[in-house]
Structure 1
Amino acid sequence: MHGTNFAHAHAALSPILRGVDERKDLEWVLVDLLDALSRDVTCIAVVCDAVHLGVWEGALWRRTAPLPVVMIVVEEYEDLLSPNFATLESLRRARADGCNVYVALLANGLQAARLLRFGDRHRILDTRAKYIMLHDFRLFHSELHYLWKRVVNVLFLRYHKKALGGVGGVGGDKSKAWFDLSTVPFPNPIKAVFVSRRVDIWRNGRFHYNRPLFADKTKNLNAEVLNVVYLEHAPSVLLMRNNDTNKIGGVEIEILNTLADKMNFKPNLYQSVNAEYHKWGQKQANGSFSGLIGEMMSGADLALGNLQYTPYHLDLMDLSIPYTAQCFTFLTPEALTDNSWKTLILPFKLYMWVAVVLVLLMTGAIFHGLARYYARLLEYRNEHKIITEKHEEQASKPVGVYLFGEVMNSILYTYGMLLVVSLPTLPSGWAVRLLTGWYWLYCILLVVSYRASMTAILANPAPRVTIDSLKELVDSKLVCGGWGTETERFFQQSLDEIGQKIGERFQTIDDPDEAAARVARGVYAYYENEHYLKYLSVKRKKWNVSMETQNSTNTTIMKLASDRELHIMTDCVVNIPISIGFHKNSPLKPLADVYMRRTVEVGLVEKWLNDAMYPIRALDTFDNEVKALMNLKKLYGAFIALAIGYFLSFICLFGELGYWNCVVKKDPNFDKYAMDLYYMKKK
């Protein structure tokens, strides 16, 4: 026995039990109950007052000796809606140890009710455990009805001193005291008055009906109607309007239909008030919540709406096991920068162009060096009279060597070969001829590669300039935003510097269509899951298709000519698990998790996700088909190159005219009638 909080261990019996031997009978009924539960008990948490402390003596003590027990004895004046430190720590210890049986023996029903309210509000008590409590009408007040939608595995022990009308009579003394064991009427909804449901009768040391004491009440909900609040949000819930009829689909709708079929309930789907504006909902000034969360706090049984598995949502409701994980990223605008003017340099990367220029300069220099060496060799032979008359004639007129005799000419002819322009004549030097042949092979390979890359660039659409990482997003100086203050707080409390910078300029926005319009104007980046961003971008492109789910109160989506294309950032900011919501401490969650795990394992969730996103992806694929069309815009680079040539030519022309008029004509030796004499003097 551990985690014990004892007080008044030998207190006298309360006047409530005076003259009645209830304590002994209660001891034996608890022994029989624990015997019936012995296979499933992992730990017992006992909360009792001084009045019932003596029940744990004798047979009950010996029965619980092999089991871990956390015993908490509370004072009769202790307010269990705000328990003292010792009681609170003992309750936490019981929850941490995994106690799945709670025995609450409190003579004061109000004290027991306040304990349940405190344990449910702060999740100190495991509401899905098995509870054994004393029957008290004060537990069934209308203000406590919500508790019995959460604590359903409970037995109320009601003591009867004498049998009435043969209720307890199955032979023997009918005046023998007996216990009535009842439970909450789950799954039937509690109306204005709480009416418990009898489970069994304990009398003469045995159970009368021998029914299962804690049967699973969630396996068959007997076609009860459960309130399911939903929020339209791709891909979880999609509302498709067709004339006057609305059809609801999506991944979570399929999951809901599966759970309804297996657990036998009927979902009543509805939306919260002003769902388009409040969406998931936020905390109001009066402490209440709006939107979907507000409906869950008000009594809805399930919630559908792409709920993120986060501590914020877990504190307000229960979440199923995640059925998928979604990539949350930003919807960003594509840059309007047109790079068609760079068409001529796009086929090669920067380092390739550097290599081409270096090879051009180096090869031109080698050609020039070989030509000079060949010319000097001929001069040397001519000077030493070691060549024949034929050689002298060739030396006086070296064929082709003049092509590379000067540095500028050598570079120009080398550049001409790179452009596949043939030489005026073949050089006579064998060294130059061999180098020319191998250089031609290099030029052919280079030109073929350039032409192939150029053809691909002209045939395909121009490459898009996009934002694909958080660093690029921060450097772009775009305003970032999304829905809800929780998203803003997520970035502001980020541990990395980039996330904090995004949080500094994060702006919340309620209307996703308005957010998409801002993104199209190139001033905003919108944060959501990639599936919803795909749906939003396609919806903006195809506002007139039947799959549009836009409300009539919204303005028609108009795409202006200056609007940019929308792009989904390829890098994920974070991958977040997605779940279905249940009301706080819902008894439906354990069995629903079992069925959801099975649907995930067999691949149904993935199939439903593909089915939900198929119409959206199909529209986007059709719109983005690559068309190999040539237009004037793609040839901007050619016209720019021509314009640069014109510009440089005119500069050279005006330079020559200026030099002629300002320098040559003003020379004293200049004579326009004897130009040959002028140039001879210049030489």
Structure 2
Amino acid sequence: MAEQKQQPPERRVETFRPQKNVLELYGDSEIVKRALGEGYHAILVLDAEDYYSYNASPPALLHHLEGLKGADAKFPCHVFFLHLTTQASLDPQLRPGTKVVGVGPLSLAHSLIFNTALLNTAHALYIAIPPPSTPPTPPTSLLRLKGTAVNSSDQFRSFHGHKFRIVSMDWFPFLSFTRDSNAAGTTVTPRDSLDYRMLTAAAAVLNFTYEMRVPLDDQWGVSLDDGNWTGTVGTLQHQRADFSMLLSWMSSRLQVVDYTRPYITEPLVIVTDKAGPLPQIFALVRPFPGMLWAWVLVTTMGVGVAKWALHMGWRWASGGEGREMSFSSALLSAWGMILEDPLPRLPTNLTSQMLVGWWWVFCMLLTTAYRSSLVAHLSVPDKSPTIDNLEQLLGQRGWTWGMEGTYGIGWEWFRKSTVPTIRKVYEKIQALSAEEHLSRVLRGHHAFLTWKYYIRTLIASRYTDVRGFTPLYIGRTEYINYGGYGWGFRKGAPFLRRFGVMQQRMVEAGLVKHWMNDLIIKASREARTANKMESTTDMQEGRGLVVLGLRQLQGAFYLLGLGSLAAFTVLVAERLVMELSPRMKLWN
């Protein structure tokens, strides 16, 4: 109980120990003086657990009371008793669990109940003492909710039409709105989105209204060197709003804002243009990988050498019987069989016949597999490699990348990461709007680093044609396990728990997941009916019959040209050798 007098008496702090004798601890009276102002006599009531934790030590207790000097959210005071004869003046903001009881004339009730120190106070009771000439009146119980006095018997079950101040950023499908003006920090009109559906449901149950604004700097919020934050986080930090819509969980932000439990998570992904078909000049060799082609080459040469060696060995063993076979003829016959050119005559000895027979079986299996694979590759050309992670992105020459300039958790993650790959990406990151990023992506050699559900709905609503085709590709690797999205509240807000309970009920009932899927499907459906984009060649490929043309078979013409050039080169080389060698001239 604190009583204001004309002349401040000696300050005294007393601690009551339950079911024990009263222990009086006399200490620095300036502690209470700085906390409550001049002219107050105070008694601080602590519970038994707090009392025993300090071992009834006056210095320790007085050191614990230093929390009164500022807005310390951890100050464990449970009840403030104030006896008022003049207007109350409290400096620190009390924690939500602290109860305030005031006693005084009815004219001073407003000065206590609406005091700024009670901004986060959930329970405030003022007992009005009537003048001696009037009959006694019953105590009046008032609950302070940002300027609205309501009965505390139904606390937070209904906010009785109280208007909350909300701050947030546009981030569809989570939240979408229309700005009411172009001014900084303007009010906005929400549109159909996930958080708007959740807010509408909560407002209907809890009976409140709201005014929604954007942060003055249009940012989510990053930390500054002086301990302050920008954007939405900074707005909550300085108590210029009661709560925000979606806000990413970050341990560093917990120092300045409170959160509800996460209701959804959203990873960071890489968006690039969809892979196009590879050049058809190499279509003839793509049916087999490089290692298989190398084994075919080595095996064919080995069979040619084995055939020549077996034939020469048989002639030596039979005393020169049979026709002589040159080494080049043996190699060419092996290549001829693999190209489905049969031998003009079979070998006369049984050993060579066995080799040729099994080699012919191998060639039939190989050419059958190659032919079927070639038809598939010519009908549906292979695509260029996609970019699925940051390592692949760094390996691309001449590529650029960036994020939106909203400076939220994504920027904070890149800025504070010590991973070399992430640091290299951050050094070249560009801050542009989503439209500009996606425009560069469509032109090629650019990647957009953004959030999964946000970009899915953006692609479905703006970059998908009537047949469901989109030229954009979302990488498979997902980054940043930051804990998810919750609603952010100013520090110490007494209504945080009530909103958290309502939000958790929506999650457990499956409404959040249902609404998210419905919004994505709705955006895709609207895009397919509204957009009139024409189908591209990539979309048409693979549908129905494909007529092979010069584009698919250009590799064969290139191979013919290459072979003709090689034959001409050999012809010129032979001619030069014949001209330069006297022995060859004599033989001719």
Describe the shift of the 1:667–1:15 C-alpha distance in structure 2 as closer, same or farther (beyond 3 A): closer
Describe the shift of the 1:368–1:105 C-alpha distance in structure 2 as closer, same or farther (beyond 3 A): farther
Match of residue 155, structure 1, among 125, 128, 131: 125
What letter is aligned with 1:154? A
What letter is aligned with 2:123? N
Please state if 1:595 is matched with 2:502.
yes
Please state if 1:220 is matched with 2:158.
yes
Counterpart of 2:476 in structure 1 is 570
Q: Is the Cα contact below 8 Å between 1:488 and 1:506 reproduced in 2?
A: no
Describe the shift of the 1:338–1:611 C-alpha distance in structure 2 as closer, same or farther (beyond 3 A): same
What letter is aligned with 1:320? T
Match of residue 486, structure 2, among 568, 579, 588: 579
Please state if 1:165 is matched with 2:165.
no
- Secondary structure, aligned partner of 1:525: strand
Describe the shift of the 1:366–1:664 C-alpha distance in structure 2 as closer, same or farther (beyond 3 A): closer
Q: Is the Cα contact below 8 Å between 1:334 and 1:467 reproduced in 2?
A: no
Quick one: distance in 2 between partners of 1:65 and 1:229? 41
Counterpart of 2:99 in structure 1 is 131
Deviation at 1:668, TM superposition (A): 6.9
Counterpart of 2:288 in structure 1 is 348
What letter is aligned with 1:433? Q
Match of residue 303, structure 1, among 230, 244, 252: 244
Q: Residues 229-248 of structure 1: matches in 2 within 5 Å? A: 229-238=167-176, 248=191
Q: Is the Cα contact below 8 Å between 2:402 and 2:431 reproduced in 1?
A: yes
Match of residue 415, structure 2, among 478, 492, 498: 492
What letter is aligned with 1:640? G
Quick one: distance in 1 between partners of 2:172 and 2:336? 60
Deviation at 1:324, TM superposition (A): 1.0
Q: Residues 201-600 of structure 1: matches in 2 within 5 Å? A: 215=153, 217-238=155-176, 248-268=191-211, 270-272=212-214, 278=218, 280=220, 299-304=240-245, 306-311=246-251, 313-333=253-273, 338-379=278-319, 395-396=321-322, 405-476=325-396, 478-482=399-403, 483-486=405-408, 487-509=410-432, 511-542=433-464, 565-576=471-482, 577-600=484-507
What letter is aligned with 1:155? L
Quick one: distance in 2 between partners of 1:259 and 1:55? 40
Quick one: distance in 1 between partners of 2:341 and 2:475? 46
Quick one: distance in 1 between partners of 2:308 and 2:175? 75
Q: Is the Cα contact below 8 Å between 1:520 and 1:566 reproduced in 2?
A: yes
Structure possessing the higher radius of gyration over alpha carbons: 1
Quick one: distance in 2 between partners of 1:364 and 1:444? 17
Counterpart of 1:389 in structure 2 is none
Q: Deviations over 1:3-42 (max 9, x none)?
A: xxxxxxxxx99745999xxx9xx999x99xxxxxxxxxxx
Q: Is the Cα contact below 8 Å between 1:106 and 1:112 reproduced in 2?
A: no
Q: Is the Cα contact below 8 Å between 1:344 and 1:637 reproduced in 2?
A: no
Quick one: distance in 2 between partners of 1:634 and 1:265? 68
Q: Deviations over 1:296-327 (max 9, x none)?
A: 567544433x4211245545543321111111
Quick one: distance in 1 between partners of 2:258 and 2:438? 32
Count of paired positions:
537
Q: Deviations over 1:421-440 (max 9, x none)?
A: 33323323222222333323
Quick one: distance in 2 between partners of 1:658 and 1:103? 107
Deviation at 1:239, TM superposition (A): 5.9
Q: Is the Cα contact below 8 Å between 1:280 and 1:291 reproduced in 2?
A: yes
What letter is aligned with 2:96? R
Describe the shift of the 1:66–1:129 C-alpha distance in structure 2 as closer, same or farther (beyond 3 A): closer
Q: Is the Cα contact below 8 Å between 1:49 and 1:107 reproduced in 2?
A: no
Deviation at 1:414, TM superposition (A): 2.0
Deviation at 1:613, TM superposition (A): 1.4
Q: Is the Cα contact below 8 Å between 2:463 and 2:471 reproduced in 1?
A: no
Quick one: distance in 2 between partners of 1:240 and 1:429? 90
Q: Residues 21-32 of structure 1: matches in 2 within 5 Å? A: none
What letter is aligned with 1:237? L
Of stretches 573-582 and 633-642 in structure 1, the one that deviates more from structure 2 is 633-642
What letter is aligned with 1:183? L
- Secondary structure, aligned partner of 1:222: coil
Describe the shift of the 1:632–1:498 C-alpha distance in structure 2 as closer, same or farther (beyond 3 A): farther
Please state if 1:190 is matched with 2:160.
no
Quick one: distance in 1 between partners of 2:103 and 2:123? 14
Counterpart of 1:80 in structure 2 is none
- Secondary structure, aligned partner of 1:325: coil
Describe the shift of the 1:13–1:653 C-alpha distance in structure 2 as closer, same or farther (beyond 3 A): closer
Quick one: distance in 2 between partners of 1:531 and 1:581? 20
Q: Is the Cα contact below 8 Å between 1:340 and 1:635 reproduced in 2?
A: no
Counterpart of 1:42 in structure 2 is none
Gaps of 5+ in 1: 1-11, 32-44, 74-83, 117-124, 170-179, 200-213, 381-394, 546-563, 672-677
Counterpart of 1:103 in structure 2 is 80
Match of residue 557, structure 2, among 625, 639, 642: 642
- Secondary structure, aligned partner of 1:444: helix
Gaps of 5+ in 2: 19-31, 57-61, 180-188
What letter is aligned with 1:656? L
Deviation at 1:656, TM superposition (A): 2.0
What letter is aligned with 1:642? F
Q: Is the Cα contact below 8 Å between 1:489 and 1:503 reproduced in 2?
A: no
Q: Is the Cα contact below 8 Å between 2:441 and 2:447 reproduced in 1?
A: yes
Counterpart of 1:561 in structure 2 is none
Quick one: distance in 1 between partners of 2:301 and 2:352? 16
RMSD: 5.0
Deviation at 1:260, TM superposition (A): 2.1
Deviation at 1:147, TM superposition (A): 5.4
Describe the shift of the 1:593–1:273 C-alpha distance in structure 2 as closer, same or farther (beyond 3 A): closer
Quick one: distance in 2 between partners of 1:583 and 1:55? 30
Deviation at 1:580, TM superposition (A): 2.3
Q: Is the Cα contact below 8 Å between 1:237 and 1:253 reproduced in 2?
A: yes
Quick one: distance in 1 between partners of 2:15 and 2:142? 20
Q: Is the Cα contact below 8 Å between 2:176 and 2:193 reproduced in 1?
A: yes
